[in-house]
Amino acid sequence: MMGPAHSLSGATAWLVVGAVTEAAGEPMPWPVLLIGAIICAGAALAPDLDHKAATISRSFGPVSKVACGVVDKLSYGVYRATRKTGDPRRSGGHRTLTHTWVWAALLGAGTSALAVLGGRWAVLVVLFVHMVLAIEGLLWRQARASSDVLVWLLGAASTYVMSDVLVEDGADWLFTDPGQEYLWLGLPVALGVLVHCVGDALTISGCPILWPIPIGRKRWYPLGPPRAMRFRAGAWVENKVLMPAFLVVGGVSGAGALGILY
């Protein structure tokens, strides 16, 4: 899938989690619902940091360009080092390491650790990065028309306001012991990466989500539904079917999560 569909699916996924936790008697305070949806929307773009034309690789100027190069080399290296005889030879790292459950878990755990150890400042950084990504992903038309600096300023301002709200209500959601503030921030990050992988699995080339668990002669088995159910990235299915569906499901779940529905 392309950037907008990925980020919208990420936001939707977090709203669904919100509805589920509300039903399970662990309702999210609204700042957790909102901020989680934004982080998940941003994180759902993160795996494509292995591709220089992707939204994320262009979102932070030279910084993301350098990060993209590093991630592509790392991914390609890991691919070559771990491929089995059935995995094809390839020339770059796109859709390998960053498109696996291992990457999702590492990124989620890393974010949680950073948030707990770094406190407020770490939260600001994590929130800022994902906010800018979410703006680029969800408002891509507007973002493309304006300058990068404008998007960064908008991201910084909303990050500042939202982190203030989070201190008041939601910092200790789910993990309530002292010292566990912001521990939950890793959850929308990991979920966003997984949702991205599922989205890519629906396209023609599939997605090696299960690496390094071998399937047959492949360790990078491109998982996906049967061929007939897959579509080309950026195809009409994405814009005309999936994105409206994400909006409806996200809207209903969001209302449910806030306890508006019943």
Binding site for Zn ion (CB under 5 A): 47-48, 200
Least distance in angstroms from the C-beta of 197 to Zn ion: 7
C-alpha dist (Å) from residue 260 to 69, 93, 129: 45, 45, 30
- Cα–Cα distance measured from residue 171 to residue 28, given in angstroms and rounded to the nearest whole number: 11
DSSP state of 92: S
Identity of the residue, 60 or 103, whose beta carbon is nearer to Zn ion in the bound complex: 103
Strands (E), the chain: none
Identity of the residue, 32 or 97, whose beta carbon is nearer to Zn ion in the bound complex: 97
- Cα–Cα distance measured from residue 151 to residue 181, given in angstroms and rounded to the nearest whole number: 28
Least distance in angstroms from the C-beta of 242 to Zn ion: 15
Identity of the residue, 44 or 131, whose beta carbon is nearer to Zn ion in the bound complex: 44
Least distance in angstroms from the C-beta of 87 to Zn ion: 18
Identity of the residue, 94 or 115, whose beta carbon is nearer to Zn ion in the bound complex: 94
Q: Dihedrals φ, ψ of 248, to 5°?
A: -65, -50
Identity of the residue, 14 or 103, whose beta carbon is nearer to Zn ion in the bound complex: 103
Least distance in angstroms from the C-beta of 121 to Zn ion: 30
Q: Which two tokens mark 80?
A: 């070559």
Residues 6+ apart with CB under 8 A from 105: 190
- Cα–Cα distance measured from residue 195 to residue 104, given in angstroms and rounded to the nearest whole number: 10
SS3 203: strand
Least distance in angstroms from the C-beta of 94 to Zn ion: 8
